[in-house]
Structure 1
């Protein structure tokens, strides 16, 4: 009797296992059958928008989740970032009412083949967009009493469904990530709600105004529009939380902030070959430039170069090679730094703040070189006049020149006359020599006074230049 009971128990357990397995297979097949029935060509055509035959457009709700800001390039006026593009719309053709039968697990709880509990599943009865309390759960917290809330479609089947013809208006380059599979998802809810998410890397153009560079703030926008359908068929609108930036997103030279968002409808006039009003939405990113890099790499080095040019004012007037080398070194260094800093900027027609600073510093170091040239000219006058005085001393002899011939007189009266003339000439030359030395003394003093004046004037002028520059470009508000 005990053996019979044991065999009967084993057979009953086997029946339960087989029944559970068959229920799971039936459920998985039924889930697959739902997708196949939705994609029936006689009912659903993915080439036609959901409300194409109706008198109202399809509303597509969009949200951007920014994974990273990769770069901001002033020379090409663009910026790069990676985003999750999330879209939501309702397609009445994709409604489904089939229920999935749940099997009991070992603990007596209802669960489906995926292991998710069936006791309480999401519904979309009151769904009006993405969840307002979170940007990441993507609607998974909406709970109801349905047995199965959604169908998760494989990315390989996405091309079989109608998708909004969204494009990025100011896009330069873009790619959809496909490692290890295409980073795309699509969920179908019972009431025909469709939610998609795509991971995209973008390079977008940005109209930058660099008058205050590097003290500027740039507003870079992203424009999303429908390329082929006008507002009669498709309308884009932002979710209540249009843009979400991942915590910790940073850029080396910028602080990223979320700006305004709104509409930017494209309307083609009567002169265009294409007519109609096309939907477009816009989101702004405020890029506040961080100033620490430019203090360390531009302003401090250029200030030191300008101060280095002032060292020549304390070098002796006779040390010509030292002063020439120092002046040329500072001018060339300042020119090289200015050229290197401008290489990463576009060639705009207006004056930038960095141009004002670099030009001002270049003027100061060049003026220091010109000051040396003036001092050198004044100091060399002394040497030329001293050599002139030495060459002008009278020679001996009493010969005179008459009618082009030298005549030597032996008359005592003539000799006395000649000696008198020599004494008068020597007296005049002595007076002239004292006058020349007086001029020389004035020239040397003028050179030394120029150096003393430059030691005070140049630092004071550079201080005034700094005060005006920082007040205009930093203290004044950005218009």
Structure 2
């Protein structure tokens, strides 16, 4: 067999096609002749109807045909010892069951199975001409070029198929390909990565700009989903996730996480005071243990601390030790900073802490609505770093490990 060209390799239909010269040789002693100075005779296709020939067919073939323009592309040669040589020009379309787990970094191998339609091994034994030698029985022309694949190698083998109807001699050909990934990087991976990075711009947008942040998040999710649907149109509807599906789904997860992050920021940090909410002057002093010699005391009641001076009641309540008295505003600021740390806010966000939100609204200050949330500040670093680590793991895993 000589493969002249390879056509489309379809992932959606799980098939491939190629054009080849298919040559068969067999010996029929009934066709011996003895003509002086003639050892071989070439005949046209009409002669085939008058002799015996093997009913060879492609077991996994689909819509294969012989070329008949301008005349049937075949010829027959008969030698004086009864050896028959038959050559046909065929276009073969065969099934190729691909495993798309690694798509588009996969290396598909497409088989071609050749055998007799009705003759068992008792009647016909198929063998490659150069089986067991250094020469190849299936040749490929050197100028074959494919748009999405590189042709790696072609192998051939002889086998016996055991069936309930007998043992059949068959031949197998495997054509190994390697897919080009450049197209997918330019058309899928790079755009999806840029769209995902675009969703992180919302971390720098003021949390009061709800329309801008929500519209940015929804747009990025829809854009990535649209790319995923377009890529899926050319694939078979397999029940497992491909490597490309994994990447697209992770991008969607990052974009949804950015949306959820803004919902948490808006719900737990952007608050306005309730009408008649608690006043800072009504807060009671916290019960604290007597301070040590080098410790400071924070007072939370303006009744106990007036204009930076100690009241007589405070002098009686505290022991006679030397300590530095910090301002009420500084203590409140530090306590609020601890309560608004990223870890605590994230935990309260996951648990849906309504008590915490009510407390914020009770002592909220409208003037601080434009302040930057600690959650936004943390996400500016967490999202890019984790996405970068994912990309490194993804490419190492699919290109070198699996």
Check whether the contact 1:243–1:258 (CA below 8 A) recurs between aligned residues: no
Matching residue within 6, 21, 29 for 1:92:
29
**Counterpart position of 1:183:** 73
Partner of 2:400: 475
Structural mapping, 1:137-286, within 5 Å: 147-240=37-130, 241-269=136-164, 275-286=165-176
Say if 2:20 is the partner of 1:83.
yes
Deviation per CA, 1:177-225, whole angstroms, max 9, x where unpaired?
1101111111111222211111111111112111111111111110000
Query: Once the 2 structures are TM-superposed, how far is the Cα of residue 375 of structure 1 from its aligned partner?
Result: 2.1
Distance, in Å, in 2 between the alignment partners of 1:220 and 1:319 is 55
Is 1:81–1:203's contact at 8 Å kept on the other side of the alignment?
A: yes
Report how many residues are paired: 318
Query: Aligned pair in 2 of structure 1 residues 436, 191: CA closer, same or farther (>3 Å)?
Result: closer
Structure 1 CA distance for aligned equivalents of residues 22 and 243 of structure 2: 37
Structure-1 residue corresponding to 2:292: none
Q: Let me know the Cα RMSD of the aligned residues.
A: 2.4
Matched, 1:371 2:266: no
The corresponding residue for 2:275 is 388
Does the 8 Å CA contact 1:335/1:362 hold for their aligned counterparts?
Answer: yes
TM alignment of 1:8-87, pairs within 5 A: 64-87=1-24
Partners of 2:277 and 2:363 within 8 A in 1: no
SS in structure 2 at match of 1:222: strand
1:463 equivalenced with 2:388 (yes/no): yes
Instruction: Give yes or no for contact 2:74–2:88 (8 Å, CA) kept in 1.
Output: yes
Matched with 1:290 is: 180
CA–CA distance in structure 2, aligned partners of residues 323 and 264 of structure 1? 64
Q: Secondary structure at the match of 2:18?
A: strand
Give the match for residue 411 of structure 1.
none
Shift in CA distance, 443/331, structure 1 to aligned 2, threshold 3 Å: farther
Which structure: larger Rg?
1
- Is the CA contact 2:55–2:117 (under 8 Å) kept in the aligned structure 1? yes
2:217 to 323, 327, 338: 327
Question: What is the TM-score normalised by the length of structure 1?
Answer: 0.63
Cross-structure match for 2:375 = 450
Q: CA deviation at 1:264?
A: 2.9
CA distance 1:215–1:442, shift in 2 (3 Å): farther
Aligned counterparts of 1:462 and 1:440: Cα–Cα separation in 2 = 36
SS of corresponding position for 2:64: strand
Matches of 2:30 and 2:144, distance apart in 1? 40
Distance 2:367 2:151 in 1: 64
1:20-60 per-residue CA deviation (whole Å, 9 max, x = no partner) reads xxxxxxxxxxxxxxxxxxxxxxxxxxxxxxxxxxxxxxxxx
1: CA distance between counterparts of 2:29 and 2:185? 60
2:93 and 2:267 mapped to 1: Cα distance?
Answer: 59
CA distance, structure 2, for counterparts of residue 228 and residue 443 of structure 1: 87
Question: Over residues 260-288 of structure 1, what are the superposed CA-to-partner deviations in whole Å (9 max), with x where a residue is unaligned?
Answer: 3212322223xxxxx22111110111011
- Deviation sequence 1:49-89 (CA, Å, 0-9, x none): xxxxxxxxxxxxxxx11111101111121111111111111
Cα distance in 2 for partners of 1:170, 1:255 equals: 23
The 2-side partners of 1:159 and 1:307 are apart by 69
Q: TM-score, normalised by structure 2?
A: 0.74
* In 1: Cα distance, 2:211 partner to 2:12 partner: 41
User: Could you report, residue by residue, the CA deviation over 1:335-360 in whole angstroms, capped at 9, with x for unpaired residues?
Assistant: 11111112222222222211211110
C-alpha separation in 2, matches of 1:215 and 1:319: 42
The partner residue of 2:202 within 312, 323, 340 is 312
Structure 1 range deviating more: 299-308 or 256-265: 256-265
Q: Is the 1:312–1:326 Cα contact (8 Å) retained in structure 2? A: yes
Off by >6 Å, runs of 4+ in structure 1: none
CA drift at 1:96: 1.8
Are the aligned partners of 1:78 and 1:206 in contact in 2 as well (CA < 8 Å)?
A: yes
* Structure 1: distance between partners of 2:123 and 2:368: 89
Deviation at 1:443, TM superposition (A): 8.3
Give the SS at the match of 1:326. helix
Q: Distance in 2 between matches of 1:208 and 1:225?
A: 22
Unaligned ranges ≥5, structure 2: 131-135, 280-359
Once the two structures are overlaid, the 10-residue window that deviates more, 459-468 or 249-258, is 249-258
